[in-house]
Structure 1
Amino acid sequence: MTTVQSPPTPPTAIKRPRVVARTGLYAVLAANAAVVAWFFVQAGFASNALIVLGRLTGLYAALIMAFQLVLVARLPWLDRRIGMDRLTSWHRWTGFGILWTLLAHVVFISFGYAQGTDVGPIGEIVDLAETTEGVLRAVVAFFLILVVGAVSARYARRRLAYETWHFIHLYTYVAVVLAFTHQVAVGTTFASSSAATAYWYGIWSVALGSVVLGRAVLPLWRNWRHQFRVTAVVPESDNVVSIYISGKDLDQLPARAGQFFLWRFLTADRWWQANPFSLSAAPDGRTLRLTAKAAGEGSAALRHLKVGTRVFAEGPYGAFTALHRTRPESVLIAGGVGVTPIRALLEEVHGHAVVIYRVGSDRDAVLYDELRDLAIAKGADLHLVTGPPVPDKLAASELARLVPDIAERDVFLCGPPPMMNAVLGSLRELDVPGPQIHFERFSLAG
């Protein structure tokens, strides 16, 4: 174990942007749920309770679907305050909410319209699909949602390649369009008044517009403006390489230490592949740097990139930044190549910091020399913790020994999932409050 110590620096300002953003999202969703209920009541009720429930569940399915699109639109204001991993998790659970509300909608409507007839609920759906405009499109949308829901279940998701899962998931957008046209064609509440019609057009315009803005317009505009190119390729070890990227007006790029980009290196064999890599140095307005470990064919090929290669970068993404500080002092815990955002964060954080870098051996400590020099310059304490996984050298007792006042500090954590899960358990044992623990799994889906 190596330790570097210097005097602490003054404390920093305290903010709670995640709470504000999360509360704002909940408030917007609750307000829209109330508006939907009001328009529903204003439209009047159907002849039996099942049809009433069917129409209401259909409206709420449409509202949740629109909300779900906003969650994955990658809007900068939401992403930097909540984080892509949490937004993706909420998107997953709202997806199951859509599945169940649509299932309830189909069951209530089919049984409701089948009352007093001899065709039964299945026959009623077939009859409605054949005779009523928009119902067949709704049936197709429902089956697409069922397929997407099935492949998104944890059992199936673990057995599918990300590319396969993502391709199937794209059919959700087809389902959204079909569901909207169904609502326009037969939605009683949709057409009950000009105000209701304007409201629903507004909801869908905001949802779909958010996706187009966040997933297409903003990335295209930023890449056109900044013209990213590779300026240097520097091997850090046998299996780790740093890529330096420059461009125009990088001082206007709203990137922060701890964030990541989806990088596409526009070579003949790699232009189609996007990989999420964190910044390994705080943006300085002139250069961006990523540091990647060879974990597959794509990342291993990075060391062969040529200077001058064009880069298409989507981002910056993530809420793993100093924006979320709640205490004047901090602990930065890194495992393996998870040191990259931690090293960048150390440049930006103010107040006394303790850095804990966990690796198997000294030779695995990528960027350690930079981290040591930066720790001295920043007045931080640096601990290099080496050795095999067992015994756990980041157990609660070890963390308490390294940082006795850890419960009074913000904790930033990045590393391999098993290590992160173990450290999160140790932090709970040490009664570190949840709002003081900051981590991001850098997951795009699932």
Structure 2
Amino acid sequence: MTTVQSPPVPPTAIRPKVVARTGLYAVLAANAAVVTLFAVQAGFASNALVVIGRFAGLYAALLMAFQLLLVARLPWLDRRIGMDRLTNWHRWTGFGLLWTLVGHVVFITFGYARSSSMDPVSQLVDLAETVEGVFRAVVALGLILVIGGVSARWARRRLAYETWHFIHLYAYVAVVLAFTHQVAAGTTFTTSSAATTYWYTLWGVALGSVLLGRLGLPLWRNWRHQLRVEAVVPESDNVVSVYITGRDLDRLPARAGQFFLWRFLTKDRWWQANPFSLSAAPDGRTLRLTAKAAGDGSAGLRHLKPGTRVFAEGPYGAFTAMHRTRPEAVLVAGGVGVTPIRALLEELHGHAVVIYRVGSDRDAVLYDELRDLAHLKGAELHLVTGPPVPDRLAPGELLRLVPDIADRDVFLCGPPPMMNAVLGSLRALDVPRTQIHFERFSLAG
């Protein structure tokens, strides 16, 4: 298997994550300034509450477009920031959007009620009945309130992912309704051709990004690469590796540490997509995923037949050597989280220490491969076994295994409790945050 070694990162190089994050902030700030300029040029209503409400509505529209960009899964952003962080930003931006929209409705309603001497409820009903687009805006707000409610942590814990995802799809309906309300009733659309052009361009870019990243690019890549199952290899009683082949895989921009959303096109599985990391560095000929049976989706992999067509979305994730800041690394894996770690070890350049945390020796998936690869690469490999308590990766133990850990990049993947414990240990050892790399592989709607 041939892989491309990742070159050492110059100490003065600007981190890709910083570039992307700064770019997103700059885009949002620049658009906020443009929105403010057009709003000022449109003039102010005599009622201060209406003025505040209009500004809240304009900023809400901007946040809604920004929301679409965050979940568009554009490769440039995803490789530099990662789907999990983009998902987290999307979530918090969503709560900001929710309160901004509520403020828009409240201030507008109370502002017009003050001028008309109607009570706020009657005023809102009157606006919905007499002003074009207002009723659509009320429906959009109702949808966003529902989506915001099911996105709260207490609700997410009680809902199946499929249920939450189905409800979340109504956000696109809310976007369309809000846009048509803005076109019909927004002051900037009726008073300035430049502002009208700006808003159409903004929404066109936002919606176009979603169509490109979520639909166009996956369709193009799957048509081009024609992915199929080449082999299914059991690794243990409950772990299986699936080898995928196809056309021109050397042109698929996948890297060790990334994952795909895999959809195996059989009668009983075509509708189900599951995220699995690559368990070997891409070599231009095959892709490999390794999964532990944790549900119907992963358990069914064992029964796939060679030749089965595959539809894959990705590659996704920033858990790659692109983000290295030091010439040497520590790779910490827990359980089946070893899959991206094993792939990363294959690609990484420079000395590495691998720490593999499992309950017992028989839980060490791909351990023989990892041991042979570590020997080939000149890396150190430590298999740490035992129950979760006491913590086998406490600060003192990590320092014993890797005395210079604060001078290395740390790549971490495993079950959430184990990851949280290791992150706490790294903080206690004063490992700089810029040297700690991990992803939680959460998905956005």
Q: TM bucket by the smaller chain?
A: over 0.9
Letter in 2 for 1:160: L
Letter in 2 for 1:338: G
1:13 and 1:135 map into 2 onto residues whose CA distance is: 54
Q: CA deviation at 1:102?
A: 0.3
2:374 and 2:92 map into 1 onto residues whose CA distance is: 41
Question: Is 2:87 the counterpart of 1:91?
Answer: no
1:356 and 1:25 map into 2 onto residues whose CA distance is: 35
1:53 and 1:10 map into 2 onto residues whose CA distance is: 52
2:146 and 2:8 map into 1 onto residues whose CA distance is: 49
Letter in 2 for 1:188: T
Q: Is the 8 A contact 1:70 1:210 kept in 2?
A: yes
Deviation digits for residues 212-245 of structure 1 (CA, Å, limit 9, x no counterpart) = 0000000000000000000000000000000000
Residue of structure 1 in register with 2:159 after alignment = 160
Residue of structure 2 in register with 1:322 after alignment = 321
Q: More deviation in 373-382 or 62-71?
A: 373-382
Q: CA deviation at 1:194?
A: 1.1
1:227 and 1:404 map into 2 onto residues whose CA distance is: 47
Q: CA deviation at 1:365?
A: 0.7
Q: CA deviation at 1:47?
A: 1.3
Q: Secondary structure at 1:337's aligned position in 2?
A: helix
Q: Is the 8 A contact 1:331 1:356 kept in 2?
A: yes
The 5 Å alignment of 1:427-442 reads 427-442=426-441
The 5 Å alignment of 1:367-406 reads 367-406=366-405
Residue of structure 1 in register with 2:127 after alignment = 128
Question: Is 2:39 the counterpart of 1:40?
Answer: yes
Decide which of 8, 11, 15 is 1:12's aligned counterpart.
Answer: 8
Question: Is 2:77 the counterpart of 1:78?
Answer: yes
Q: CA deviation at 1:303?
A: 0.6
Q: Is the 8 A contact 1:264 1:273 kept in 2?
A: yes
Q: CA deviation at 1:267?
A: 0.6
Q: Is the 8 A contact 1:10 1:352 kept in 2?
A: no
The 5 Å alignment of 1:276-295 reads 276-295=275-294
Residue of structure 1 in register with 2:269 after alignment = 270
Residue of structure 2 in register with 1:256 after alignment = 255
Question: How many corresponding residue pairs?
Answer: 438
Letter in 1 for 2:320: T
Q: CA deviation at 1:298?
A: 1.4
Q: More deviation in 187-196 or 164-173?
A: 187-196
Residue of structure 1 in register with 2:364 after alignment = 365
Residue of structure 1 in register with 2:147 after alignment = 148
Q: Secondary structure at 1:355's aligned position in 2?
A: strand
2:80 and 2:6 map into 1 onto residues whose CA distance is: 25
Q: Secondary structure at 1:264's aligned position in 2?
A: strand
Unpaired segments ≥5 residues, structure 1: 1-8
Letter in 2 for 1:102: L
Residue of structure 2 in register with 1:410 after alignment = 409
2:376 and 2:22 map into 1 onto residues whose CA distance is: 38
Gap change, CA 1:258 and 1:11, over 3 Å in 2: closer
Q: Secondary structure at 2:256's aligned position in 1?
A: coil
1:296 and 1:219 map into 2 onto residues whose CA distance is: 25
Q: Is the 8 A contact 1:11 1:329 kept in 2?
A: no
Q: More deviation in 219-228 or 108-117?
A: 108-117
Residue of structure 2 in register with 1:5 after alignment = none
Letter in 1 for 2:160: A
Q: Secondary structure at 1:245's aligned position in 2?
A: strand
Q: CA deviation at 1:293?
A: 0.2
Residue of structure 2 in register with 1:172 after alignment = 171
Q: Is the 8 A contact 2:6 2:321 kept in 1?
A: no
Residue of structure 2 in register with 1:306 after alignment = 305
Letter in 1 for 2:188: T
Q: Secondary structure at 2:237's aligned position in 1?
A: coil
Letter in 2 for 1:59: L
1:32 and 1:58 map into 2 onto residues whose CA distance is: 14
Q: CA deviation at 1:191?
A: 2.6
1:326 and 1:316 map into 2 onto residues whose CA distance is: 22
Gap change, CA 1:61 and 1:11, over 3 Å in 2: closer
Q: CA deviation at 1:10?
A: 11
Deviation digits for residues 59-106 of structure 1 (CA, Å, limit 9, x no counterpart) = 000000000000000000000000000000000001001100000000
Residue of structure 2 in register with 1:215 after alignment = 214
Gap change, CA 1:403 and 1:10, over 3 Å in 2: farther
1:159 and 1:361 map into 2 onto residues whose CA distance is: 32
Residue of structure 2 in register with 1:349 after alignment = 348
Residue of structure 2 in register with 1:6 after alignment = none
Q: Secondary structure at 2:175's aligned position in 1?
A: helix
Q: Secondary structure at 2:190's aligned position in 1?
A: coil
Residue of structure 1 in register with 2:63 after alignment = 64
Q: CA deviation at 1:121?
A: 1.1
Question: Is 2:198 the counterpart of 1:202?
Answer: no
1:395 and 1:155 map into 2 onto residues whose CA distance is: 30
Letter in 1 for 2:424: G
Gap change, CA 1:398 and 1:33, over 3 Å in 2: same
Q: Tell which has more relative contact order, 1 or 2 (C-alpha 8 A, sep 6+).
A: 1
Q: Secondary structure at 1:191's aligned position in 2?
A: helix
Q: CA deviation at 1:192?
A: 2.1
Q: CA deviation at 1:391?
A: 1.1
Q: Is the 8 A contact 1:412 1:438 kept in 2?
A: yes
Unpaired segments ≥5 residues, structure 2: none
Q: Secondary structure at 2:137's aligned position in 1?
A: helix
2:191 and 2:81 map into 1 onto residues whose CA distance is: 37
Residue of structure 2 in register with 1:242 after alignment = 241
Residue of structure 2 in register with 1:114 after alignment = 113
Deviation digits for residues 361-385 of structure 1 (CA, Å, limit 9, x no counterpart) = 1111111111111111111111011
Deviation digits for residues 262-306 of structure 1 (CA, Å, limit 9, x no counterpart) = 000001000000000000000000000000000011111101100
Q: Is the 8 A contact 1:141 1:175 kept in 2?
A: yes
1:10 and 1:427 map into 2 onto residues whose CA distance is: 24
Between the aligned residues of both structures, percent identity stands at: 83
Deviation digits for residues 4-56 of structure 1 (CA, Å, limit 9, x no counterpart) = xxxxx998124410010000100110011111111111111011100000000
